A and B are shown apart, each in its own frame.
Chain A
């Protein structure tokens, strides 16, 4: 098959963009070789499109027409005061913070000095030194792998490397801030590596945010690789709040050792076109996974959440709960696959995906999949889509609550069940505030 002939304009442009950017992307010769291998893999794969089963509802090829230049460097001025404005409700969360502006580490805005138990460094720096360790830590993308992850490896410029020391319970969350600022529309590629040591516990927050007034067009490709050590507990929350025009490609690759506990949560609103992939591998017995999220989409926004939970070993438990609120021509896609390998007896897996449809034109596509090869397991999944309950609306209004506020209250009620999964109270409240902002409602005292 002659791959070159089949390339779309955008695929061609991505290859050209790599040629232009390659010399400026960080990394030694070994890293450059890895990047070249990745772009080669991408060339073979092309942009995923609707005829590929996993991308049936989210045709990236049709939606990525214009390729933005890679953000290989950044000098956008940004003050702490501006950062706080961009953070919005998240500014109230007491946390250590590491800040990236347009995908590049900004030491002056970061504050990780007293983060006891956390060793924090950056991908940009690590790639320069290109130790075998770092290279080994980066998942390589073989041919036939994921095109978006291949692009991430080819273009990654920076990101956080976080080590949680063995046995340490970290006092407060680490907020990893990725802020878009300035007026140049470009493509930002971020790679994060998280490693939670044996018996440790920590809360990490990834925040994709925008400085008000910044360019609205942007492409983001973020890959976060997470390893949770034996008996460790990790709370991992991603908040992505944008202004309706950007393209977000996000992937989490999570590996859980034995007796680990991982709570992952993703909140998003205002993402123009988004694909949020989450892959979790149970790599040791006795582990627990609690994966949940809430997404809000309106106008012609498109939010896809695609999960693969791989029970490769016995005696593990997984729970998923995702809730979407869809208005206007907003479209939600949920694909959740639970794989239970032949040896993974006593697996306990439950999945639920729900959408609240606020308009006639909203669309929800849900595809739960169970692939079970073991015979002694408890697994279930469910999916629902519904409109606001008119009886409930009447009940609220009969108590004097005006229609707009009653609707907002019911939407809060709907996503509240998902938000409740967020353990950290301040963070949970920040997410509720984002939701209320989306609903055009201020927070009550």
Chain B
């Protein structure tokens, strides 16, 4: 279970608070969506969960399976099962996708005390998981994300997620820059990973994604706090009424 308790976050080199007492609980097996207007702190939440530098947690805590992750390095969090699918996946010229994936997977396995995968076993796995996302081995031989279209980059993120088998999946604006076909493939990839052992936090600006990845709960984030929580129908309401109500409330 993910428990975010009264989380206050500011930028390290700026005196501006972005998250102002955010509390949220996502039990295993559930998919929760976070919706909110631009500048509400959605991406900050995603980055703070993954452990990116540049943010300072001034109060509150984040517990994953009862354990605080705030003092953990990003790679330790990954080994604990935390995964962030980036809004803008990075390009790594000169490093083949396969090398990157194998390095990541074996790093995590090592930290979990599992044996590293042999090259043939890894290739088989990568091929199998890639096929479901329309990613062939030739694409994985190319440098990570270099020259990929927006859709290819997002599919590549979901493949990473499928290979690393995290238990807490945070999706940051995964729908941005996707056309309908890509959206469908990505969503199917995500839905295939839904399981009683896994929690999802799906961050999005638009309701559209939630037609494909149907959430158990929807939270409205505005002005650094959860302003309202509801079922999947809340997303539809937001689509009609917009965020004005919440931003006004916040102001």
Contact = CB atoms under 8 A, between A and B. Distances in A.
Interface of A: 390-392, 394-403, 405-406, 409-410, 412-417, 420, 444-445
Interface in B53-109: 53, 73-75, 77-79, 83-84, 86, 89-90, 92-95, 99-100, 102-105, 107-108
Contacts of B100: 396, 399, 409
Nearest to A390: B53
B92 A397 contact: no
B93 A401 contact: no
Interface string B23-59: 0000000000000000000000000001111000000
B19 to A, nearest CB: 19
A403 B111 CA distance: 13
B103 A444 contact: yes
B241 interface: no
Contact of B73 (A391, A397, A445): A397
6 contacts: A391-B90, A398-B77, A400-B79, A400-B104, A409-B99, A415-B94
Given A400-B164, A401-B75, A416 B104 contact: no
B248 interface: no
B96 to A, nearest CB: 9
B167 interface: no
A398 B107 contact: no
Contacts, number: 84
A394 B53 contact: yes
| Number of chain B interface residues as a range | 20 to 34
B207 interface: no
Contacts of B93: 413, 416-417
Contacts of B105: 400
B51 to A, nearest CB: 7
A143 B31 CA distance: 80
B119 A445 contact: yes
Chain A CB within 10 A, most for which of B75, B99, B102, B111: B75
Interface string B126-156: 0000000000000000010000000000000
Nearest to B94: A416
Contacts of A413: 92-95, 143
A402 B75 contact: yes
Contacts of B53: 390, 394
B160 interface: yes
B55 to A, nearest CB: 11
A250 B152 CA distance: 46
A398 B86 CA distance: 10
Given A398-B75, A410-B92, A416-B95, 5 more contacts: A394-B53, A398-B51, A399-B164, A401-B104, A405-B107
A397 B74 CA distance: 6
Contact of A412 (B86, B94, B164): B94
Nearest to B47: A394
Contacts of B83: 398
B198 to A, nearest CB: 17
Nearest to B54: A390
A406 B102 CA distance: 13
Contacts of B111: 400
A399 B160 contact: yes
Given A414-B94, A445-B119, A398 B78 contact: yes
Contacts of A399: 75, 78, 100, 104, 107, 160, 164
A377 to B, nearest CB: 29
B107 A400 contact: yes
Nearest 4 CB-CB pairings of A with B = A416-B94, A400-B78, A413-B94, A400-B108
B102 A395 contact: no
Contacts of A401: 75, 103-104, 107
Contact of A397 (B75, B89, B118, B160): B75
B129 to A, nearest CB: 15
Contacts of A410: 92, 95
A409 B51 contact: no
A416 B100 CA distance: 14
A327 B21 CA distance: 42
